[in-house]
A = this chain, B = another copy of it.
Amino acid sequence: MATKSWEERVADKKSRLEKTIPPEWRIKTPPTGDSFMSYPKESGILSNGELAITESNATDLVRKLADGELTSVAVTTAFCKRAALAQQLLNCNLEFFPDMALAQAKGLDDYYAKHKKPIGPLHGLPISLKDQLRIKGLECTMGYVAWIGKFDTEDSVLVALLRKAGAVFYVKTSVPQSLMVCETLNNIIGRTVNPRNKNWSCGGSSGGEGAIVGFRGGVIGVGTDIGGSIRVPSAFNNLFGLRPSHGRLPYANMANSMEGQETIHSVCGPMCHTIDDLRLFVTSVLAQMPWQYDAKVIPMPWRPAEEENIRRKMASGGLTLGFYSCDGNVLPHPPVLRAVDTVVTKAKEAGHTVVSWEPYKHPYAVDLANRIYAADGGADVFTTLKESGEPAIPNFKDLINPTLPKLDINRTWDANLEKWNYQNEYLAKLRELEEKLGREVDAIIAPITPTAAVRHDRFKYYGYATAINVLDFTSVVVPVTFADKNVDVQNASFEPLTEMDKTVQAEYDAEAYNGAPVAVQIIGRRLTEEKTVAIAEELANLLGTNK
């Protein structure tokens, strides 16, 4: 039997992917500018009704679907069309299956016609998925050539539960090879670009989700995050994103690299346009009791009492928030510093107490995270690459050196212990500040990356995101503003803190970044999703970014 070369396997996959777009959804005249944001309206491919649907938020859509004002077929068609445009413009889809989606939508409409009620809280709503989630009958390549042609026989638990809640699946989006990179590039479909400017990265590893939801080819996207992979693409695409703590949402039977690495857990979470949509996603999943299906999920339903407590606090004395602009390794670019400052100012104006938080040993946490990500010397990833013969993407090659020694099991256990001790020390530092203030610190405002949406192949420093993964704190991405070349001027007297800082600072170019989205993360302690989302909502409302 002649074995196909990896290039042949890619060609086959790409040709199958191209065929998923029917002629009537094909772009005749491609846009000429760098931004694709206005193209859907100009394309003539979507009707006004379809434009309106795709520009709605999910909470409105599920209400209309539940009221019978919209059919799932209409909503699914609209998103499929826009996702087809996204595929052609952004190169964001690894799987696209409008026929299967429309059949599922039709089934839900039939259910509704018969029972006169929705099947679940997401009845009829299309949800886009990172290509780590398995859907029975489809491939899940995760950007690996070796996995082309392997068709799944079972849904991931999250997919099965979203299905039970009434969601419709239509697209699985691209990721960087290995998932360990915050840009989106692989040897199957190449690079995914940012819909606001094709010269910018869409972020990663849930970059396909960032791009498609940013483009409104999706309304809620499902990403995963082990080192910023939900937060970075959310930030780069002006989206809200939730990185819940480990154990809150089901991850069972998803594809992954370095499966079983549990010192720092990957978690899944939503990326979307509003806080309501973010909450809709999480409450809909928790309502399916995921702990009955995935042993790692904590039996903890959504806790409205936690939201009420914090709202009461907001209404009375106000919140107490910490903030930091610099983690001690790398100073963020001017747009990011301005974003943090904007949030702090708005919060203070609204009567909240905002105090400076000294990020405790973040360089240590970042170093620990890097050691853990490289713990097997890349063996798992390189084995998969070798299977097909495809080369490593440069970004991964830069990160993990295949000649690195593997950690010995006792040193792996040491790393587990180091992490736990660090987490506990962090809690002690928080208690110390609280004792000093005489009040609880409700959340911390911080950068996610040192840059606004970055130019391709320039993402270098993961530390603002990864320190939070080490802590396993809950983090909510809140869009703040856009880089502005007239305002965001580099400090000329800057002295780099580290070599990495020098590299990152050198990369700043006010012109190139002009207009790039900037976000902050609102960080809460472990398993405080209700509270942290409510605080993020308050801040986003003050900023006017929660539409």
Binds B, one of A135-143, A417-425, A532-540: A417-425
Binds B, one of A126-134, A348-356, A373-381: A373-381
Binds B, one of A50-58, A252-260, A459-467: A252-260
A423 touches B295 (CB 8 A): yes
A427 cross-chain contacts in B, Cβ below 8 A: 292-295
A407 cross-chain contacts in B, Cβ below 8 A: 409
Bound Cα distance from A428 to B410, whole angstroms = 33
Bound Cα distance from A106 to B247, whole angstroms = 44
**A430 nearest in chain B by CB position:** B292
A298 within 8 A of B: yes
A295 cross-chain contacts in B, Cβ below 8 A: 420, 423-424, 426-427, 471-472, 526
Given contacts A424-B293, A526-B291, contact A260 B414 (CB under 8 A): yes
A406 within 8 A of B: yes
A463-515 interface with B by 8 A CB criterion: 471-472
A472 cross-chain contacts in B, Cβ below 8 A: 295
A420 touches B252 (CB 8 A): yes
A528 within 8 A of B: yes
A428 cross-chain contacts in B, Cβ below 8 A: 293
A24 within 8 A of B: no
A298 touches B296 (CB 8 A): no
**A291 nearest in chain B by CB position:** B526
**A263 nearest in chain B by CB position:** B262
A253 cross-chain contacts in B, Cβ below 8 A: 424
A527 within 8 A of B: yes
Given contacts A260-B413, A413-B261, contact A296 B420 (CB under 8 A): yes
**A440 nearest in chain B by CB position:** B292
A393 within 8 A of B: no
Given contacts A299-B526, A300-B300, A416-B260, contact A376 B409 (CB under 8 A): yes
Interface residues of A (CB under 8 A from B): 157, 247, 252-253, 258-263, 291-296, 298-300, 375-376, 379-380, 406-410, 412-417, 420, 423-424, 426-428, 431, 471-472, 525-528
A sample of 16 cross-chain residue pairs with beta-carbon separation below 8 angstroms, ordered by A number, consists of A157-B424, A247-B298, A260-B414, A260-B416, A261-B413, A291-B526, A294-B424, A295-B427, A299-B525, A300-B300, A375-B409, A376-B413, A379-B410, A406-B408, A406-B409, A409-B409
